[in-house]
Amino acid sequence: MNDTVEGGPQPEPIYAVVFGCIMVLGLPLNAVSLWILLRRHSLRSPNVVFMVNLAISDLLLAISLPMRVYFYATGTWPLGSSVCILTTEIYRKNISCSSIFITFICVDRLLAVVYPLRSRHLRTSSNAWKAVVFVWLFVLLMNIPQSLSMSRALKNCTVAVCFDYHHCWTYDPAWVYFYVALVFTMLAVNVVCTTLVSWTLRSHLSDSAKVRNKVNVMLIFFMNLVMFTVCFIPLYVGLLTIKGTAIRPLVCLATMNCCLDPLMYYFSLDNFWKKKEDVDLETREE
């Protein structure tokens, strides 16, 4: 790929600023969140397992953002097609993994609140880790064909520079439809979980009395719905309806999920700041 190409992308300072702000917020927020989750919480909790992997996914995205900032600030890409593809795949993996892990967190909270006794054999760290490994492998395998297609296109591209490769390569419509169907399915799961938990907390007062800080419980579901409706759904719908660089604002919105996810850790977990020993004791008492 050429560093500068006649007729190629020009500097876009506004996007450099936007991605720079997301990076400045997302990098420390997710680094601190991951440190606290690993240091103060037990990985025997399936909820913590999902949140740790969500933080890892968001941290990888934040680490890749300096490259986007440089590209949009200068309009050039000096690192070649391989690094461009790697950076792009990190972004795609974050969007896919984040939406799936958020859905897992939502389902886990549903089981804990609505079916606390019947779900004990399902809500184990072993099952959570199996699900996490499956998700990472699934997303990796799903992105391999697109990476190979993108690599072939960029090698022969004389116009595009990284992140502005629409002149040379576009998403396969079949894959886009698959991802759109997947993200809407996960949104439906989140809506159903939110409805059932809300109904349980309001209608079954005697059973729900054991649930500490019901506002925080519902905040988890509210944050999940915000993430889907603001970050994920617009991007995937845009891939079907928008061509060229007009998709950039939706990419910015989707990237913001790495800044919003830590809010779920900070404000939705009563014991987020407690020591691991205290959390383990509370987990055994539940």
In a domain, 4, yes or no: no
Pairwise CA distance, residues 28 & 13, whole Å? 23
Range of the domain at 41: 13-270
What is the predicted pLDDT for the residue at 112? 86
The per-residue pLDDT for 167 is 65
Structure tokens at 231: 């970050």
Q: Which amino acid is at 223?
A: M
CB 29 within 8 A of CB 259: yes
Task: Answer whether residue 283 is part of any domain.
Answer: no
Quote the number of domains for the chain.
1
CATH code of the domain covering residue 246: 1.20.1070.10
Residue 130 lies in a domain: yes
pTM of the model: 0.85
> 166 in a domain, yes or no?
yes
Residue 32 lies in a domain: yes
Q: Is 267 exposed, middle or buried (0-12, 13-18, 19+ CB in 10 A)?
A: middle
Residue 176 lies in a domain: yes
Q: How far apart are CA 184 and CA 174, in angstroms?
A: 16
Question: Residue 221 falls within a domain, yes or no?
Answer: yes
Q: Give the pLDDT of the chain (286 residues) as one tens digit per residue.
A: 444 444 456 778 899 999 999 999 999 999 988 988 888 777 888 888 999 999 999 999 999 899 889 988 988 888 777 888 888 888 888 888 999 999 999 999 899 888 888 888 888 999 999 999 999 999 888 888 877 877 777 777 765 567 776 666 667 778 888 889 999 999 999 999 999 988 888 776 544 445 556 777 788 888 889 889 999 999 888 888 877 778 889 989 999 999 988 877 766 555 544 544 444 434 443 4
Is residue 159 a contact partner of residue 7, using CB atoms and an 8 Å limit?
yes
